[in-house]
Amino acid sequence: MGLGHALSRRKALDTVEGEQSELGKVLSTVDLIALGVGSTLGVGVYVLPGIVSRDIAGPGVVLSFLYAAIVSVLAGLCYAEFGARVPKAGSAYIYSYVTIGEFVAYIIGWNLIIEYVIAGASVARGVSLYLDSLFGNAMANYFRSIYAMDVPFLSGYIDFFAFSIAVLVSVFLAVGVKESLLLNNLLTTVNCTVVVFVIIIGSLYADFMNWEIPSSNVPLGSGEGGFLPYGWLGTLRGASTCFYGFVGFDVIATSGEETRNPRRAIPVSIIVSLLIIFLAYFGVSSVLTLMWPYYLQDVGAPLPHVFTELGLDWAKWVVTIGGLFGLSASLFGGMFPLPRVVYAMSQDGLLFEFLSRVHPRFKTPFVGTIFSGILTGTMAAIFNLKDLVDLMSMATLVCYTIVAMSVLILRYRTEGERDLEERFTSESESSPLLRTPSLKKHRFYLRKFPFANIEFSVYILTLLCGLLAYTLVCMQNADSELTVSPYITFTLLLLIILILVLFAGIPFDSTATTFQMPGLPLTPTLSIFANIYLMCLMELSTWYSFSIWLAAGLVIYFGYGLRHSTENQGQHRTLPKVEYERLQQSEQSQSGETSAAQRVIKAQDAGTQEVHLGITYVH
């Protein structure tokens, strides 16, 4: 088997759907919503509004959160469709394995690991610092006296408390998901209550003059005043930072194997969670910048700072305690998906086998969960995570982009088992465009068009979206050394529109009974463009760090995963009953020779399942 075939081998969708899970199904829709909100509504609501409003976007932070929410909703729709179609542990990793291939799936899984490790570690460190600030930094001083470190990119001391928090949470998760969710639901309820409290109290002290501060009253280096003191570019750059606040809703999609009725619960939970999260961010950032001028915001703890400045000490303590609950829920949600991604990759042989062992009593990936907790705790204890936040956003955006690509590939390729001629002449065509009289005459040319190769077409579409995003960033950035002609941007836009029109003329699968994302192919294309646009706004150092992490992952894949992959255990693969029936139907029309389906029947009558086709057929 060639290397190219090995890198592109895929899991059959029907096989993935039919696999039996060892994990217990204990999660309801309410549990998933609480998990999504809790994992996301932590650091974002208590820290991000202060940082973005003071240094990046000003009061326009509310628009930054809006744009970040739109990007997240587009990605959420893609996750909702795949989560309903493929309710397996592993999230984007499984989705890309089904549609694109093993190598890309491994890259996505590797990115998800660093995303969740940094997410959990940053929150664990945040909880430690949050508590330490209430006691005059006593813990930091004590840990520094034990062992101080002076190494670039590392913390000044080993935070044993942050390490302990991460390991303790992993133990709770390993003992049982249901018991852990009860605590998470409680923490999330308290957190949402505090957010509502902040919005109500803040609206009573709102002053719209803080959104109209004249430039003469603004300190040097704090923009030009008004609602957009840093301009539209500042608002868009703020969106790339605010996007961090929405990272975490995909935890819902990683828990499909442990969810009751996942085909309904996952889409509903994702959409409802994103709506709640956006309303919380929009409300908090609005009242925060209305209560106090943007250039006087505190970047560490903006809400307690503003309430203190307004003389509302009692409200300050309510917010402080609520922040602790919120960070705790965020820590739980940040660490919940990591062992499940590791579990899925280990089950497929791409990571070490012992990481996929399920505890016979607790029905959880016990070893993988404890290992994930130790890894997260180590990162929280020794690393300075400030420079790694953008890396986490980068990894997340890459995953979102691949999921959007996978939706296009899966929807247009599901009927690919049949000949393209049959797809274009079937009476059950799903494309309304193909039924128009003017286009029926040109079906012959569409059949000859190379867009029959769906994967190649999606790759080209993604490349064009990336080039368009990069040119737009260069045009908006006055400091950019690259001058881009508007004609180039216009040409790229026309090419994208042309591809979308051609996609609209191709029949796609509309027979699935699960949730389907509306607006195909426009919606996933918008998601791809928006994700890449945010990536183009990131610093060059983030791209360097991302490349180093990918290189480390490639060493593991080519050194271990490529040879130990379960898809590489033999040339024979399991063909599900659905594919068997399709093959039987497609070959019944052939005359004068024995069909493959008939040979299978004869082989089964002879008491064997193996036939000389390199395929094992199962019923």
Could you tell me how far CA 366 lies from the centroid of its own chain?
24
Per the document, the length of the chain is: 619
Residue 13: the pLDDT is 54
Better-predicted residue by pLDDT, 334 or 91:
334
- CA 105, distance to chain mean position in Å, is 13
With 90 as the cut, is the pLDDT of residue 200 above it? Answer: yes
Amino acid identity of residue 441, one-letter, is K
pLDDT digits (tens, 9 = 90+) for 558-579: 998 888 888 876 533 343 444 3
Please tell me the distance from the alpha carbon of residue 385 to that of residue 291, in angstroms, as a whole number.
30
**Region 379-399 average pLDDT:** 78
Residue 579's CB is within 10 A of a number of other CB atoms, namely: 18
In this prediction, residue 4 carries a pLDDT of: 67
Residues 28, 265: contact at Cβ < 8 Å?
yes
Contact (Cβ atoms closer than 8 angstroms) between residue 11 and residue 299: no
Q: What per-residue confidence (pLDDT) applies to 286?
A: 95
Q: Which residue has the higher pLDDT, 257 or 58?
A: 58
What digits encode the pLDDT tens for the residues 323-346? 888 787 778 777 877 887 888 888
> For the segment 416-474, what is each residue's pLDDT rounded down to a tens digit?
444 444 444 443 344 444 455 554 544 444 444 444 578 888 999 999 999 999 999 88
Per-residue pLDDT, averaged over 349-375, amounts to: 82
Which residues lie below 8 Å from residue 395, measured CB to CB, with a gap of 6+?
Answer: 111, 112, 114, 115, 546, 549
pLDDT digits (tens, 9 = 90+) for 205-249: 999 999 999 988 888 888 888 999 998 888 988 888 888 888 877
Instruction: Please give the Cα distance from 250 to 79 (Å, whole number).
Output: 7
Least confident of 100-109, 184-193, 476-485: 476-485
Instruction: Tell me the DSSP string of 49-85.
Output: HHHHIIIIIGGGHHHHHHHHHHHHHHHHHHHHHHHHH
What are the structural domain ranges in the chain? 3-408, 415-540, 573-617
36 pLDDT band, cuts 50/70/90, is: confident
Q: What is the DSSP secondary-structure string of 430-484?
A: --GGGGSHHHHTTHHHHHHSGGGSHHHHHHHHHHHHHHHHHHHHHHH-TT-S---
Instruction: Name the class of domain 3-408.
Output: mainly alpha
Following CA atoms 363, 365, 366, 370 in sequence, which dihedral angle do they give, to the nearest 10 degrees?
Answer: -150
Q: Does residue 518 come out as left (phi exceeding 0), alpha (psi in the -120 to 50 range) or beta?
A: beta
Helix (H, G, I), strand (E, B) or coil at 605: helix
Whether 197 shows a pLDDT value over 90: the answer reads yes
**Distance from C-alpha of 245 to C-alpha of 276, rounded to nearest angstrom:** 13
